[in-house]
Amino acid sequence: MNIPTLGIDISKAKFNVCLINPHDKLKHKVFPNTASGFQQLAEWLTKQHVELIHVCLEATGTYGEALALFLHQAGHSVSVINPAAVKAYAGAQLSRTKTDRVDAELIARFCHTQRPPLWTPPSAEVRELQALVRRLEALVEMRTAESNRLEAAITASAVRASIEEHLAYLDVEIKRTEHLIREHINSDPKLKQQSELLDSIPGIAATTAATLLAEVADITQYRSARQLAAYAGLVPRARQSGSSVRGRTRLSKIGNARLRKALYFPAVTALRCSPFFQFWAKGLRERGKCKMSVIGAVMRKLVHLAYGVLKSGQPFDPEWAESA
């Protein structure tokens, strides 16, 4: 069925749309990125005699989440795509201009020709957990920044007092948010069970488990552990061509940066404290892998193990983990 496609280029204050109808005619419009703007979009689509539509927008932080949910709940097909895919498509089309209007049309044409997979919104419980986890991440980042300022040998007593007061406030908010995350997970039987399964993996504790649950959302949407690792940007990317190009293999880093960030210190901890990971990493070192390559491999292994315990419903077992 050839349904119309709608490309959306979204920003904090507004979003540009480009509609491609079944006759390949283009319609452009700009709306405010607010609840009233969403309703204006719905009314505009009705005026264009559009009932069902395939909507495409980039995964650009939190700006597009509310709109994607609104359109999905209205019964439209929604795709939330990696910006790197649109960038590559723009390069293939030899696109030389970059404006909000042009980007909306580019996304619409990408959707029209490529038919990307459909997006399914996380459950209400996961969305709330995601909001809490991301708030905790922001608070920790603010605390680190303020702590660095305090250590910068600030001599003005008024400034030091202000920073110390803000640090005390952030400490309270961090503890409160951590408590809210624990309460939210423990109040939901499914999230609680999944958190306990993840906690059984060496190196993964409550905070990392919460981040994994928030960012992975629904394990059933991934066909394999490798697909989940690719979503996290943890699959190796080789760089070889002919006889002259022999680049070092690195992590692709095309994927969810929050997952990669959340898994770095658990990987370091697992290498330091877990006999299972120490034995597993020994083989990598014997093959000449450098320290960062080993840590990256352990991060990928943690993703594979997380997929395994969540998919099977069974806690970590070193015996079957050998083949995960």
Is pLDDT at 98 greater than 70 in this prediction?
yes
Is pLDDT at 172 greater than 70 in this prediction?
yes
Mean pLDDT rounded to a whole number for the chain: 89
Which DSSP string do the residues of 176-220 spell out, in sequence order? HHHHHHHHHHHHSHHHHHHHHHHHTSTT--HHHHHHHHHHH--GG
Q: What is the pLDDT of residue 10?
A: 92
Per residue in 22-41, pLDDT (tens digit) is: 777 899 999 999 999 999 99
Element (H, E) at 105: helix 100-114
Residues 6+ apart with CB under 8 A from 320: 308
Place of tokens 């404290």: 273
Q: What is the pLDDT of residue 1?
A: 53
Element (H, E) at 306: helix 291-312
Q: Are 209 and 195 in contact (CB under 8 A)?
A: yes
Q: Are 119 and 80 in contact (CB under 8 A)?
A: yes
pTM comes to 0.83
Residue 44 phi, psi (nearest 5)? -65, -40
Q: Give strand ranges (E) for 12-67.
A: 14-20, 26-32, 54-58
Is pLDDT at 321 greater than 70 in this prediction?
no
